[in-house]
Amino acid sequence: MSMTSTDNLVVIEPRIRGFICITAHPVGCEAHVQEQIDYVKKQGPISAAPKKVLVIGASTGYGLASRISAAFGGGAATVGVFYEKPSENGKTATAGWYNTLAFDRKAKEAGLYTHSINGDAFSDAIKDKTIEVIKKDLGQVDMVVYSLASPQRMHPKSGTLFKSVIKPVGQTFTAKTLNTDKDLVKDVTIEPANEQEIADTKQVMGGEDWQMWMDALRQANVLADGAVTVAYSYIGPEVTWPIYRDGSIGVAKLDVEATAKKLNEQLAATGGKAYVSINKALVTQASSAIPVVPLYISLLYKVMKEKNTHEGCIEQIYRLFASNLYNGAKPNLDAAGRIRIDDKEMDADVQAKVDELWPQVTTENLKQISDYESYSSEFLKLFGFGLDGVDYKVAVDPAMGQS
């Protein structure tokens, strides 16, 4: 962030460390939110959509897209829960903070109810606070989206802090990866997770917290009859399986799927449903941290854009709502009962083309045979940079819109 400024105004530039950008642009984040709202409005309203929606993990990526789709596609009142940092001492807030400020403002302008809760969604205190808000303002919710992505979780009962790892299980894994700091294609070798690391990852990224949320909502009688709940997951191609589907994250995701089955049984009495939605690989703050995945995404984007089947977060989630959950649609379920909105990614022809490119890609030809340019620009957009119509040379207040 450039600090050439007067008073509180600064010119904000992207500063990237590893797989995270440590600055965010308030005006750019607002433009990014607006872009997603415009997309949903252009698609038209979703019939029989839920009217009172809770989104847990609502400030970025798939969670934010869910909130936007529910509000601007279905006219829903939304409660969003997230953990983001406001601006302090002239530093920028996190992108999710700016996204939420923009969403709240735009929802209110559209006459839609919105309430945003910033805090640790794993904690009992935030669950209680959320329930209070629902009771007071909405009575009940008829949809719960669970879209939390966090590297660690403080268990609300034991107080133990669990940290997740992104590692293979059972054997060492070596594969190509992309160092996005240096635009370098190289091999990465990752040692397998031990039993403790696997168990800890399951504690952070598994289904227990989703279950705890649903139990708390049901016990407080703020879950409407017929309520739908959905959690997001990923399977992807075999090239990513050792680090994802068959790795420590995969163990946690299998636990999410088991939780969905349990929730389905519990919700059946009131006509409710629980789903796991398998979404496509996209540039998100979470996916950027997973070895191999950024390189795979760069190749995937190239192939899918050539076939005109590429979708971003908002396109994916609008399709989930409009073509799988509501609008009188039936969900596209696989044999395991999971909704598949990764169907265009997993198309046999798409995967064959990615498989063909995978052994060919090197640092030298990266920009020719992949769409690394799109990967980079999508990554920066997550933090509000590179949006059309935003003058990034203009100094802005990092605390813009904070009360």
Q: Is 126 left (phi over 0), alpha (psi -120 to 50) or beta?
A: alpha
Rounded to two decimals, the pTM is 0.96
pLDDT at 2: 37
For 205-261, give the DSSP string: HSSHHHHHHHHHHHHTT-EEEEEEEEEEE----GGGTTTTTTSHHHHHHHHHHHHHH
For 352-367, give the DSSP string: HHHHHHGGG--TTTHH
Q: Is 219 exposed, middle or buried (0-12, 13-18, 19+ CB in 10 A)?
A: exposed
Q: What angle do CA 52, 63, 150 make, to 5 degrees?
A: 125
Helix 208-219 and helix 124-133, axial crossing angle in degrees, nearest 10: 40
Find residue 11's DSSP bridge partners. Answer: 2
Segment 42-51, tens digit of pLDDT: 999 999 999 9
pLDDT at 4: 39
Find out whether 134 and 61 touch, Cβ atoms under 8 Å: no
User: CA separation (Å) from 167 to 46, 208, 242, 258?
Assistant: 40, 21, 8, 21
- The CATH fold assigned to 16-159+199-286+311-343 is Rossmann fold (3.40.50)
Find out whether 31 and 382 touch, Cβ atoms under 8 Å: no
Q: Give Cα 315 distance to the centre of its chain.
A: 13
Tokens of 266: 């519990």
Below-70 pLDDT ranges, the chain: 1-7, 401-403
pLDDT at 401: 67
pLDDT at 18: 76
Q: Give Cα 50 distance to the centre of its chain.
A: 20
For residues 104, 107, 113 and 114, what is the CA-based torsion angle, rounded to 10 degrees? -20
Q: What positions carry a catalytic annotation? A: 244
